[in-house]
Amino acid sequence: MSLEIKVPEVGESITEVTIASWLKKDGDFVEQDEIIAELESDKATFELPAEVSGVLKIKAQEDDTVEVGAVICEIDEDAKSSESKSEGKAEDKKEEKKEDKSEPKEEKKESSSSGSGPKKTGEVHEMVVPTVGESITEVTISSWLKSDGDYVEMDEIIAEVESDKATFELPAEANGFLQIVAQEDDTIEIGATICKIEVAEGGAPSESSSSDKSSSKSDSSSESKEDGKETYATGHASPAAAKILKEKGIDASNVKGSGKDGRITKEDAENAEKQSAKSSEKESKPSDSGIETEKLPSPDASGNREQRKEKMSSLRKTVAKRLVSVKNETAMLTTFNEVDMGPIMEIRKKYKEQFKEKYEVGLGFMSFFTKACTLALKEFPAVNAQIDGNEMVYSDYVDMSIAVSSPKGLVVPVIRNAEKLSFNEVEGEVIRLAKKARDGKLSIDEMTGGTFTITNGGIFGSMLSTPIINAPQSAILGMHNIVERPMAVNGEVKIKPIMYVALSYDHRIIDGKESVSFLVRVKELLEDPTRLLLGI
């Protein structure tokens, strides 16, 4: 029978709590009154004890916010009997060993493994980092979802791995016990061993075996608590409080906790920060030394001068590394031009509603620039080419990469065979890929293999920039904001909506004449959009 453990009432006006941390894992055996979790409200941190003995089944995860009275976990009480049976068997085995010391080792192994649960076959399966996409040579271990020594089942997700383009999950390739080789944040090459699995047969471990291990842990922990006068909570900071203290550089030993049994709460950490700030102000005041000195005006340092550090994501570290390598390994130059956006803006204004009504997508600038670049790339194939060792690779198609800002950083999904797509198909692909990028659901295939890139800094207000080439490509076009500027037209000054465009290119494969001519061709196609429809 399973007993549901609900969030208890912890105080007046408190309707919900946050799970700060689980002190026991899902499937662990817990003793009655043993502390299994730490919960936080907006006023204090408190501990959650087990109401009965049994196997824990976690329902709400760490950092989840749950209402008072909601089910937070279940405890299977039937695990008691299985534990007692397993202990009885263990004692019987000890007696048998004492009576017959001459028994061979092989027979002892068989007797110890005769119970229910998985049996090791002796085979060890090595798991290597799989090939995850073109040009990706290494990945970073983002997190292990299983611990070393855990039993895993075939196709169960055991880790999350990051490349410079995406995060993907790593499934177990066999049933057995996990042996972790590469640790979290390690960067390893494709094909390298990431972990090993000791192959086992007979299904997942029984509750009795897991309860034996967990009960021994709980016994040792309870003994340590009985030895000391202070409880686990004394002088211990809650996760939220510990984070604040760490960010502010305050030692927890210098903070007095006001929570249960001396626990340091979030409020204690915030107050400690204020107190330390006051003490630092007092220390900064000059003492009276009896010597008159000239009072000089000091800079105002009374404002907020806090700092915080955040760990760089693997994606951002890899992108930074690649961008620096591009700057160092290519002969990169940038050429500029200006485009009168008036004709395109008139077309959008005139047909925007009809276009959206027919195709269910908006008519944006990206489709015009994509079509203009695909036509210009056919005329100047070197701009669409790549260097591969001592060879130049020319592509008869255009896989257009579109730079997109996502919560995890800059990603560059690819529109395949953009030269064959119509305006509405281009707009549809841009919307689809941008949405997947924001949701973090882009696949490796959707971000590899581009031949040319367009990036639009204008949506953030950029007037001019020198974009960095997206290796191994040889060129990238930068769009910018549209600003009304005075222009000389047939001897007259007229106000025109102007966009500056920039083409960064690798001078090793693209000559100056080709780069300038390419950008001029894009300018001509954009300023006379009928050319895009006619392909001239």
CATH at 190: 2.40.50.100
| 218 CB-near residues (< 8 Å, 6+ apart) | 29, 30, 31, 34
- Which of 73 and 264 is assigned the larger pLDDT? 73
pLDDT band at 483 (very low <50, low <70, confident <90, very high): very high
- Supply the DSSP symbol for 130: P
Of the listed ranges 151-155, 320-324, 354-358, the least confidently predicted one is 320-324
pLDDT at 496: 95
The one-letter amino acid code at 111 reads S
How far apart are the C-alpha atoms of 273 and 183, rounded to whole Å?
34
Q: Cα angle at 84 between 80 and 86, to 5 degrees?
A: 115
pLDDT at 110: 44
Q: Looking at the domain assignment, is residue 316 inside a domain? A: no
Residue type (1 letter), 214: S
Tell me the C-alpha distance between 185 and 177, whole Å: 22
Q: Please state the pTM of the whole predicted model.
A: 0.49
- 21 and 169 belong to one structural domain: no
Burial readout 383-399 (b: 16 or more C-beta within 10 A, e: otherwise): bbbbbeeeeeeeeeebb
106 and 199 together in one domain: no
The answer to whether residue 109 is domain-embedded is yes
Q: Which residues contact 349 (CB under 8 A, 6 or more apart)?
A: none
Number of domains in the chain: 4
- What lies within 8 Å, CB to CB, of 266 at 6+ separation is 40, 45, 238, 240, 241, 244
Shared domain check, 515 and 391:
yes
Q: Is residue 63 one of the residues assigned to a domain?
A: yes
Among the residue ranges 118-132, 173-187, 244-258, the one predicted with the least confidence is: 244-258
More confident residue, 38 or 365: 365
Same-domain status, 458 and 334: yes
Q: Give the SS3 label for residue 234.
A: coil
Residue 128 lies in a domain: yes
Q: Which of 194, 228, 262 is the last residue in one of the domains? A: 228
Give the CATH number for residue 239. 4.10.320.10
The answer to whether residue 375 is domain-embedded is yes
One domain, residues 197 and 213: no
Q: Would you say residue 215 lies in a domain? A: yes
341 and 473 co-located in one domain = yes
Q: Mean of the pLDDT values across residues 172-183?
A: 90
Q: What is the CA radius of gyration of the chain?
A: 33
Read off the pLDDT band of 291 (50, 70, 90): very low
pLDDT (mean) for 391-404: 93
Pairwise CA distance, residues 82 & 341, whole Å? 77
Which spans in 401-511 are helix H? 423-439
8 A C-beta contact, residue 318 and residue 140: yes
Does one domain contain both 241 and 152? no
Residue 373 has what DSSP assignment? Answer: H
Is the pLDDT at 382 greater than 50? The verdict is: yes
Task: Please check whether residue 321 lies inside any domain of the structure.
Answer: no
Mean pLDDT value across residues 75-88: 60
Strand residues in 361-513 grouped as ranges (E): 386-388, 391-393, 400-402, 404-406, 409-411, 414-415, 452-456, 475-479, 482-489, 492-506
245-259 mean pLDDT: 76
Same-domain pairing of 157 and 271 = no
- One-letter amino acid at 359 equals Y
Residue 215 has pLDDT above 60, yes or no: no
Q: How far is the CA of 516 from the CAs of 35, 92, 365, 388, 519, in angstroms?
A: 71, 88, 22, 24, 5
Neighbouring CB atoms inside 10 A of 239's CB total 17
**pLDDT value, residue 394:** 94
Which of 303 and 194 is assigned the larger pLDDT? 194
**Residue 181 sits in the same domain as residue 233:** no
What is the pairing mode between strands 492-506 and 482-489? antiparallel
Domain harbouring 413, CATH code: 3.30.559.10
Kindly state whether residues 390 and 529 are assigned to the same domain: yes
Contact 401, 453 (CB under 8 A): yes
Q: Are 338 and 520 in contact (CB under 8 A)?
A: no
Name residue 76's beta-bridge partners.
2, 55
Q: Are residues 347 and 473 in the same domain?
A: yes
Percent of the chain with pLDDT over 90: 30
Task: Using alpha carbons, select from 418, 416, 437 the residue that is nearest to residue 367.
Answer: 418
User: Range of 48's domain?
Assistant: 1-116+208-228
pLDDT band of 223, cuts 50, 70, 90? very low
- Residue 180: pLDDT band by 50, 70, 90 thresholds? very high
The whole-number average pLDDT for the span 242-262 is 74
Between 403 and 90, residue with greater pLDDT:
403
Active-site residue numbers? 507, 511
Token pair for 77 = 């009480």
Residues 38 and 172 reside in one and the same domain: no
- For 18, 37, 108, 145, 484, the CA distances from 236, given in Å and listed in that order, are 18, 14, 45, 27, 61
| Burial state string for 165-178 with b = 16 or more CB within 10 A and e = fewer than 16 | bbbbebebbbbbbb
